[in-house]
Structure 1
Amino acid sequence: MKIMDMLRGGKRTETRADDASRNALASGAGGNSNAGAYVDAKSAESISTVYACVQALSESTACLPLHVYQRTAGGDRERADGHWLSRVLDRPNDWQTGMEFRESQTAAMLLHGNAYARKETNGSGEVVALHPMHPNRVTIVRLDNGRYRYDYTDDHGKVLRLLQGEVLHLRDRTEPGSIVGKSRIAIARETIGLSLSLRQHGSAVFGRGARPASIISNEGSRDWTTEELNSIRDRLESYASPANAGKTLLLNKHMKYQTVGLSNEDAEWLTAMQFSVTEVCRIFRVPPTLVAELTHATFSNITELGLQFARFSLQRWLTCWEEAIAHQLLGTVSRGRYYAEHSLEGLLRAQPKERSEFYASGIGAGWLDVAEVRKLENLPARDVT
């Protein structure tokens, strides 16, 4: 056995077919890998490591508090919980909470490269709702004026044409001159395809292979009757009971007991499966420890790996949300006064001893006071009267 042998446009609406094909390619339309497996977002997510990486990033992004702030005249800031933006981020539509909406949209970016939501506005131009649209049903067309149109096909096959300002579009990295995010699944199709082929191979081998845990061979000249063989089998199977664990096994004359271990091919398959876990983690830039791959985890480095996840893996998606909110939901004037920002303190918080030393040095140097420390630690304000 050889285990290792085993990714929308144009200038005018007239070029719609070209636009559609490029959009489909960039957003992760399915295709066959060289390993023979069909790879698209759905099949890729069936791989446990892909699912775990997507969940680690989307869940963490969605669960972090996202607050709207107002810049004050003195250069400081204050929470603006009563602003319409805060309300729509907390409850974007009638069937999703803010956490559910951000989780699903972040997952769409990770799997398809793009996430779309139709903006519903009131008479004042304020966004009152955000309605998610499946990436596979959206085609982006570049218009003569240089702006873009989003064509969305609904559940009934009807095409809804939306202007650029009517859609919240979040995306992964784009090619120069394009606004369509590139799907990581499509870019890494061969890596994902290999993981799928390895899994299919293992399922086939273990599903069809007759592989007992042990073998008893008859090395004598006598043939055993069916009754004698059944008696021997029943006696051997009784040793699977916990009560008989560790007891001495007595065999009849000329009988040889032999355990069946992993073959070299099985060991090679397991090594390849382990390697595929690391490869998928590289695609999403997620530390393997976050997907329960603890081969290289130690007591001293696992905390640092968690901090690296917040600083280097998660930051890209948090910034994507914050900048999209600023430039696609807020107008030019409002953008100068209001902004949305995630609260990362919980993820970046150090151990109690380190926090205590940090606060003590800040209070001692005069740039931090006890009230600010209590606020950072989510403690109630202390009554000094």
Structure 2
Amino acid sequence: MSFFNRLLGREERAVIKSSDPYLGEFFGQRNGGSGYTNPERASGLSVANACISIISQNLSAVPCNLYKRTDNGGRDKSKQHPLYGVLQNSANDTQTSFEVREMLLVSLLTSGNAYAEIVWNAKGQATALKPIATGNVAAERLNSGRIRYRVSQPNGSNKTLVQEEMLHLRYRLGPDGVTGLSPIQIARETFNLALSQNDQAFKLSDKGFRPAGALVFPEALGREAAQALKAGFREKFIGAANTGEVMVLDGGAKFEQISFNSRDSEFLESRKLSNLDICRAFGVPPTVAGITDNATYSNTDQESRALVVRCLAPMARRIEQAMNAALLPPMARKNLFIEHDLAGLLRGDLKARYEAYRIGREWGWLSPNEIRGWENLPEIEGGSEYLTPLNMTAINDRETETNDEEA
């Protein structure tokens, strides 16, 4: 603002325009009356914790393999590469692959970002992943377009990592193009409502779920007497520990109960709706998260498959592409790639699997050794042969047989 505008009192205040929820909360900016949602409190809700655990544990439990493309268009596991052991067994000297992958996924779902320092050997191969807490990392884009990461150390110093030294996972790319947004930030009003309902339930529990009421006296009481009576009544009868106490009133006093409870205000129904909204925010089917109000045998099985197709598969693809770009140099990406094996989550029960194996075996696209490998059984001699149905032959073979018969 210029000097003359300040002199004449024509002051103009700029409106905060920032996608950073922390900055908006600091200046008092709120969205829809809810403002910034604390990810730690929001992820502590039972349904939110269930959704985060389901996604992180299921996706960390499935194999994350390093494959090498073959000349015939197939793939082989690149077990000799150091990165294969990082993804399968030990991510570093002190943490297993499952622990690191689970930690990264939990951070991704709660804060929208997950970081891990990459350790390289002299051959340009990733040999370890060291996860870093999201709150200790500040990402910034340089003028060159590259991203630099400033990491806070436990001793108070800072460490700078370049783009090639950091594995950065993002849930949904934010407006700045550098950091990600979590489901809690995107659906913050839903989580704020659920937190408010949780606080209200705690207050009702603290009062022993007693409805509100009024002490009615035939004559007026003084202010001090009324306050003392109210304090004594609250100390004696209010609270879960005082439930069941005998109430004795004298002086013509009557206690009139106000008929207000959780069901009358549809409080329980609103909490159920909030739980469903949280499941929608994470993309987890309700029955998988433990909400079984409308569960049946058929829809439970279908929702278990929907979890893999609609939730885990997109999340796996997001992580695979980030890992391929960060853990494999450009030349290595021509032959190597990282991919999750989600087939085990879609095979179904024993009967369904064996029926699928039978069809694949009889129609000739599965061999016994391939089937045994999926069931964690060793290969057998001659188990790599494929069957061909008698009524199905190649066109050239049919022409040859026809010519032989005519001759």
Contact 1:114 / 1:181 at 8 angstroms: preserved in 2?
yes
Contact 1:149 / 1:163 at 8 angstroms: preserved in 2?
yes
Contact 2:204 / 2:210 at 8 angstroms: preserved in 1?
no
* Cα distance change on mapping 1:307 and 1:262 into 2, 3 Å: farther
* Cα distance change on mapping 1:359 and 1:123 into 2, 3 Å: closer
* Cα distance change on mapping 1:84 and 1:206 into 2, 3 Å: same
1:52-97 CA-to-partner distances (Å, cap 9, x unmatched) read 1111101111111112222223322222222111122232222210
1:108 paired to 2:104: no
In 2, the alpha carbon distance for the partners of 1:116 and 1:176 equals: 19
1:333 paired to 2:331: yes
* Cα distance change on mapping 1:37 and 1:72 into 2, 3 Å: closer
| Equivalence for 1:365 | 363
What does 1:1-385 align with in structure 2 at a 5 Å threshold?
24-25=20-21, 39-89=37-87, 90-175=89-174, 178-209=177-208, 211=210, 263=261, 265=263, 268-383=266-381
Q: CA deviation at 1:172?
A: 1.0
Contact 2:22 / 2:36 at 8 angstroms: preserved in 1?
no
In 2, the alpha carbon distance for the partners of 1:201 and 1:27 equals: 28
Contact 1:109 / 1:171 at 8 angstroms: preserved in 2?
yes
In 2, the alpha carbon distance for the partners of 1:198 and 1:330 equals: 46
Q: CA deviation at 1:130?
A: 1.7
Higher-Rg member (1/2)? 2
In 1, the alpha carbon distance for the partners of 2:24 and 2:352 equals: 44
Higher relative contact order (CA 8 A, sep 6+): 1
Contact 1:27 / 1:114 at 8 angstroms: preserved in 2?
no
Contact 2:111 / 2:181 at 8 angstroms: preserved in 1?
yes
Tell which deviates more after alignment, 339-348 or 193-202.
339-348
Question: Aligned AA for 1:190?
Answer: E
In 1, the alpha carbon distance for the partners of 2:55 and 2:377 equals: 29
Give unpaired runs (5+ residues) of structure 2. 1-16, 212-243, 245-258, 384-407
In 1, the alpha carbon distance for the partners of 2:166 and 2:190 equals: 33
Contact 2:21 / 2:36 at 8 angstroms: preserved in 1?
no
Contact 1:195 / 1:273 at 8 angstroms: preserved in 2?
yes
Contact 2:118 / 2:167 at 8 angstroms: preserved in 1?
yes
Question: Aligned AA for 1:96?
Answer: Q
Q: CA deviation at 1:179?
A: 2.5
Tell which deviates more after alignment, 22-31 or 67-76.
22-31
Question: Aligned AA for 2:105?
Answer: T
1:194-240 CA-to-partner distances (Å, cap 9, x unmatched) read 1111011111112124639xxxxxxxxxxxxxxxxxxxxxxxx9xxx
Contact 1:26 / 1:180 at 8 angstroms: preserved in 2?
no
What is the TM-score when the length of structure 2 is the normalising length? 0.71
In 2, the alpha carbon distance for the partners of 1:102 and 1:124 equals: 24
Question: Aligned AA for 2:376?
Answer: N
In 2, the alpha carbon distance for the partners of 1:374 and 1:191 equals: 47
Question: Aligned AA for 1:315?
Answer: A
What is the TM-score when the length of structure 1 is the normalising length? 0.75
Contact 1:143 / 1:149 at 8 angstroms: preserved in 2?
yes
- The DSSP-based 3-state class of the residue aligned with 1:314 is helix
1:278-334 CA-to-partner distances (Å, cap 9, x unmatched) read 010010000011111001210111111101101110012211221122111111111
- The DSSP-based 3-state class of the residue aligned with 2:180 is coil
Q: CA deviation at 1:176?
A: 5.7
In 2, the alpha carbon distance for the partners of 1:123 and 1:369 equals: 41
Contact 1:27 / 1:182 at 8 angstroms: preserved in 2?
no
The percent identity for this pair of structures is 34
Contact 1:64 / 1:342 at 8 angstroms: preserved in 2?
yes
Contact 2:34 / 2:189 at 8 angstroms: preserved in 1?
no
Q: CA deviation at 1:41?
A: 1.2
* Cα distance change on mapping 1:25 and 1:165 into 2, 3 Å: farther
In 2, the alpha carbon distance for the partners of 1:29 and 1:156 equals: 29
Contact 1:26 / 1:183 at 8 angstroms: preserved in 2?
no
* Cα distance change on mapping 1:27 and 1:306 into 2, 3 Å: farther
In 2, the alpha carbon distance for the partners of 1:358 and 1:92 equals: 35
Measured on the aligned residues, the alpha-carbon RMSD in Å equals: 2.9
